[in-house]
Amino acid sequence: MKKYNTAFYLILIYVIMQLSGIVFAPLIFDLLMKQDGMEIQQAKLMASGWWVFISMAVATLISVFIIRKNKSFLNNLKGKQSSIGASIGWGVVGFFMVLFGQALAAFIENALGIDPGSENTAAFIKIADAAPVAILSIAIFAPILEELIFRRVIFGSLVQKTNFFIAGAVSAIVFAIIHFDFTHILLYAVSGFIFAFLYYKTRRIMTSIISHMLLNGFVVLVQLNADNIERYQKYLETLSNSQ
């Protein structure tokens, strides 16, 4: 019963975090608008960035505190856990697995006529560019919270009553839906399924968290430096053509 209480509290914290923006983001926006020279659009992005940072940081701290009160919560999967070193290694390998999986999903989407580029990702990049503190939320807090909810709670509960493929598919679909980018639901679902595999493979949630952190950090790094990367590519093309 204690593990179910912990799962319920984690879900409740996650839901409250998602809804907290209705109240707190406008308050932050009002504070920012009191500053001289602050443009409305800039204030909206900064307010969103600070809300994302504060809400996710608080939710992560509370979630960790709750889990520490129930130390058996993270040891729910049957089977021997991989060593810490192996779990970290799989976390790094998993990052490349997710990149490959997303590339395959993007290829399928393109074949179906779906334009590349996630609106959800683009929105977060704009927020991170306006309020860099949000990068911590995207690369650190979000992976921890999402892995606890979608892998430990949803997948971890279902896999004991069904099997890996059913539990992995359900948790991956829910993970994709919660991002509210339905055009690219396949992209998110593939990532979620691979994260579930990593968790199941090592029996340690830290593995999927590491992969998730690396993925989000990589995406943010690439997106924020897209202009520089494009200029460098053109520079290389110039050098190639001059030879």
- Asked if 212 is an active-site residue, the reply is no
Those residues whose C-beta lies under 8 Å from the C-beta of residue 87, and which sit 6 or more positions away, are 81, 202, 204, 206, 207, 210
Q: Is 163 exposed, middle or buried (0-12, 13-18, 19+ CB in 10 A)?
A: exposed
Specify the residue for token string 């109240």.
23
d(CA 10, CA 8): 5
Q: Are residues 131 and 44 in contact, defined by beta-carbon separation less than 8 angstroms?
A: no
In order of 34, 51, 110, 185, 224, the CA distances from 115 in angstroms are: 40, 30, 6, 13, 20
Two structure tokens written together for 204: 């340690």
The active-site residue, picked from 39, 109, 119, 146, is 146
Which of the residues 39, 147, 179, 237 is marked catalytic?
179
Give the span between the Cα atoms of 202 and 81, in whole angstroms: 6
Active site residue 184: no
Which sequence positions are flagged as catalytic?
146, 179
